[in-house]
Amino acid sequence: MTAFPKLFSPFKIGTLTIKNRMVMPPMETHLCNAEGFVTEEIIAYYKERTLGGAGYITVENTAVEPAGRVNAGMLCIYDDKFINGLKKLTDCIHDAGGKIVIQLSHAGKEALPYYTNLEPVAPSAIPSPLTKQVPRELTVAEIKSLVTKFAEGAERAVRAGFDGVEIHMAHGYLVNQFLSPESNTRTDDYGGDTIRRSRFAREIVENIRKSTPKDYPIICRMSADEYTDTGIKLPEGKEIAKILEKAGASALHVSACNYASAFYNIPCYYLEEGCFAHLAGGIKSVVKIPVLTVGRIIDPQMAENTLQQNKADLIALGRTLIADPQFPNKVKEGRLDDIRICLSCNRCIESISDKKLVCAVNPYVGKEGTAHMQKPEIPKKILVIGGGPAGLSAAHVLSSRGHSVTLWEKDAQPGGSFRYASLAPKKEPMKKFLDYLINQVKKTNTVIQVNKEADEATIKQFNADAVVLAHGAKHVFLGIKGAQESGALSVRNAFSAVDSLGNNIAIVGGGPEGCELADFLISRGKKITLIEMRRVLAMELAAHPRYHISERLKKMGAQLHINTKVSEMGRDYIIISRRREPDQKLEGFDNIIIPTLHQPNETLAASLRGAVPEVYTIGDAVEGRTVLEAVSEGVEIGLKI
């Protein structure tokens, strides 16, 4: 019997019967073409998650009219011309044994005019929190027309073979704009109190109910709390839920936020796992129809507990299924340590702003239709230098394909610089991912040797057919006057020597390394002064964690000097300068820490060329990398050799 009995119990929404309680919510991929048609890439992407065991798949937000496209990466269903491609998608999912739902959406004032070439519309002429553009207020006739367009989209979904539809009523898109007192100030029958602001949503559900078969699943995704001062709060969310249930909704998919609270909408690692489950529980307490919960659900035990506690009937796994499409199957089989954990870093969300979906830990996203682990014609003896994410990923793929692989790591345990990055508060997913990488390599025939320093002589003596250099960057202090003489520490040394740093610490450089070290130290009672020459802290992070790390440091009392340059430093002082201000001396520091520049580390590669048949350099040794690029390069070279 499974250790997660509720999670793997069957369930039914209208005519939709599913094998377990784990479903994939709608998430943009930008794998469609620019006109919004289905592509082979998007079919392969959803098929992979179906084969991974999800109860049902929800296809990403799909536009019911051209003006409703948020950008050029959004699928479309506003015309019959899209049906053939959508039918090809549903046929593929059904042939793979899955069930599939599609989300119908209109972005309203959040549609980007430079993509649509159309004027954005909304219930009221209130500027978008994102674009700041003022939309045109819809007329009653136009509202009625949009109700019809949603119904026509649902009717096309039926013809295309979808097992149900989900209406996007959350996250600041058009239906949410009508529901919210923050964005709807109309005085007619579509504005005012909760009942009238809900009319647009209610009419959409009622008209879809009339135009689809009996008991056809109509799921409403709603923001039960907008997390803003003047938006929907949970008590009103409950009233809206009851209105939708009465209108004919089959289930409610409970989320949160709008564009004004977007830093909470897609919760990054600074927010708790299952952070919206309490909202689902609140909605479930007032309706009889099924309720789905969503919001950074990573741990299967937490998902099981949420169901057991009757907070929800179904668990929506979004980024979790991007990171590991096989998550449901692995949980069912008890292979929990084989789960490729989502970091909640939101690089996926950042990636779709101007290109296709990528994932920091899953380099196969968007490439699901291609072969990955082909056996080599002639297995080779391969030496991998460096046990960070790039080296571990390369070793795992190379060994899995059949090569004879040995990995050398100079430290006492693998991990490289990533191990230190995982020490900062709220970075537990990074530690779990590193453990996953190490365990995956150990499950192959790779020989791992730690405390093993690599140099030209030892590598040549090993006599490999190919050498993969993932030995990290060359770390160089910033060129600041007095830096070398000041006794300043690197970030890595600071993480390793926290107890001997003293209490008053300056960190020169407010990139991700500096900010996360500041968080780590201030959480241990240290007094922190952080100096950053740019106008924004942690610039290289995705927007969500960048916002939260800045807020954490402010709330914990770090002295932040933004847009500030360090012109000189000594043993216990720093001289800072700002434009149009006199230089200022900050002193009395017990220690000064400088995040180092990550420069290419090419010396070893140059010494081996001509002496080793094949030499490849990846990761930080080529250029400063994030985990996304490091893992991707490791896998790429693993598939190439």
Residue ranges making up the domain that contains 405: 381-473+600-640
pLDDT, mean of residues 412-433: 92
Beta bridge partners of 255: 223
Residue 358 lies in a domain: no
Place of tokens 């500030």: 564
| Whole-number Cα distances in Å, 172 to 108, 169, 260, 491 | 9, 8, 8, 40
Domain containing residue 343: CATH number? 3.20.20.70
Give yes or no for a contact between 119 and 172, defined as CB atoms under 8 angstroms apart.
Answer: no
Q: Is the same domain home to 413 and 447?
A: yes
R_g of the chain, CA atoms, integer Å: 27
pLDDT, mean of residues 103-119: 91
Kindly state the percentage of the chain with pLDDT values over 90: 88
pLDDT, mean of residues 574-592: 94
Which residues have C-beta within 8 Å of that of residue 159, sequence separation ≥ 6? 83, 87
Q: Phi first, then psi: give them for residue 119, nearest 5 degrees.
A: -75, 130
Angstrom distance (rounded) from CA 51 to CA 446: 29
Average pLDDT taken over every residue of the chain: 95
Return left, alpha or beta for 415; rule: phi > 0 is left, psi -120 to 50 is alpha, else beta.
Answer: left
| Tens-place pLDDT, residues 443-483 | 999 999 999 999 999 999 999 999 999 998 888 888 899 98
| Whole-number Cα distances in Å, 165 to 104, 157, 169, 374 | 7, 7, 12, 38
pLDDT confidence bin for 137, thresholds 50/70/90: very high
Domain count, the chain: 3
pLDDT confidence bin for 246, thresholds 50/70/90: very high
| Tens-place pLDDT, residues 51-95 | 999 999 999 999 999 999 988 889 999 999 999 999 999 999 999
- Angle, helix 199-211 to helix 234-247, in steps of 10 degrees: 30
Q: Where are the alpha helices (DSSP H) in 111-166?
A: 113-116, 140-159
Residue 359 lies in a domain: no
Angstrom distance (rounded) from CA 40 to CA 31: 9
Angstrom distance (rounded) from CA 195 to CA 531: 51
Task: Check residue 513 and give its pLDDT.
Answer: 92
Q: Is the same domain home to 441 and 563?
A: no
Q: Is the same domain home to 444 and 491?
A: no
Angstrom distance (rounded) from CA 584 to CA 355: 43
| Tens-place pLDDT, residues 542-572 | 999 999 999 999 999 999 999 999 999 999 9
Q: Is the same domain home to 211 and 328?
A: yes
Residue 439 lies in a domain: yes
pLDDT at 221 exceeding the cut of 70: yes
Within the chain, what is the greatest distance between any pair of CA atoms?
83
Q: Is the same domain home to 138 and 165?
A: yes
| Tens-place pLDDT, residues 511-552 | 999 999 999 999 999 999 999 999 999 999 999 999 999 999
Q: How far is CA 166 from the centre of its chain?
A: 22
Give yes or no for a contact between 103 and 60, defined as CB atoms under 8 angstroms apart.
Answer: yes
Handedness of CA 605, 608, 610, 614 (dihedral sign): negative
Task: Check residue 344 and give its pLDDT.
Answer: 97
Give yes or no for a contact between 594 and 477, defined as CB atoms under 8 angstroms apart.
Answer: yes
3-28 in b/e form (b: 16+ CB < 10 A) is: ebebbbeebebbebebbbbbbbbbbb
Q: What is the DSSP string of 153-178?
A: HHHHHHHTT-SEEEEEE-TTSHHHHH
Among 173, 190, 269, 270, the one annotated catalytic: 173
Amino acid making up residue 292: L
Residue 5 lies in a domain: no
Angstrom distance (rounded) from CA 312 to CA 293: 6
173: annotated active-site residue: yes
Give yes or no for a contact between 314 and 320, defined as CB atoms under 8 angstroms apart.
Answer: no
Return left, alpha or beta for 259; rule: phi > 0 is left, psi -120 to 50 is alpha, else beta.
Answer: alpha
425-461 in b/e form (b: 16+ CB < 10 A) is: bbbbbbbbbbebbbebbeebebebeeeeebeeeebee
pLDDT at 493 exceeding the cut of 60: yes
Q: Is the same domain home to 198 and 286?
A: yes
Q: Hey, how many other C-beta atoms are within 10 angstroms of the C-beta on 69?
A: 25
Let me know the angle formed at the C-alpha of 309 by 60 and 313, rounded to the nearest 5 degrees: 30
Task: Check residue 492 and give its pLDDT.
Answer: 87
Q: Is the same domain home to 190 and 137?
A: yes
40 SS3 class: helix
Residue 3 lies in a domain: no
Give yes or no for a contact between 350 and 539, defined as CB atoms under 8 angstroms apart.
Answer: no
Closest by CA to 311, choosing from 331, 297, 327, 329, is 297
Domain containing residue 579: CATH number? 3.50.50.60
Amino acid making up residue 549: I
pLDDT confidence bin for 215, thresholds 50/70/90: very high
Q: How far is CA 520 from the centre of its chain?
A: 23
Residue 1 lies in a domain: no
pLDDT at 210 exceeding the cut of 80: yes
Q: Is the same domain home to 415 and 429?
A: yes
Q: Is the same domain home to 88 and 234?
A: yes
Q: Is the same domain home to 456 and 493?
A: no
First to last CA, the chain: 42
pLDDT at 420 exceeding the cut of 90: no
| Whole-number Cα distances in Å, 596 to 8, 133, 462, 475, 593 | 48, 41, 32, 5, 9
Angstrom distance (rounded) from CA 55 to CA 44: 17
Residue 365 lies in a domain: no
Kind and range of the H or E run holding 242: helix 234-247
| Whole-number Cα distances in Å, 406 to 381, 416, 569 | 8, 17, 44
Residue 407 lies in a domain: yes
| Whole-number Cα distances in Å, 495 to 492, 545, 552 | 5, 20, 19
Domain containing residue 398: CATH number? 3.40.50.720
Task: Check residue 371 and give its pLDDT.
Answer: 64
Give yes or no for a contact between 359 and 627, defined as CB atoms under 8 angstroms apart.
Answer: no
pLDDT at 263 exceeding the cut of 80: yes
Beta bridge partners of 621: none
Task: Check residue 565 and give its pLDDT.
Answer: 94
pLDDT at 1 exceeding the cut of 60: no
Task: Check residue 71 and give its pLDDT.
Answer: 86
Q: Is the same domain home to 261 and 304?
A: yes
Let me know the angle formed at the C-alpha of 22 by 18 and 24, rounded to the nearest 5 degrees: 95
Q: Is the same domain home to 297 and 333?
A: yes
Cross-sheet strand order for the sheet of 527-532: 559-562, 527-532, 504-508, 591-593
pLDDT, mean of residues 223-239: 98
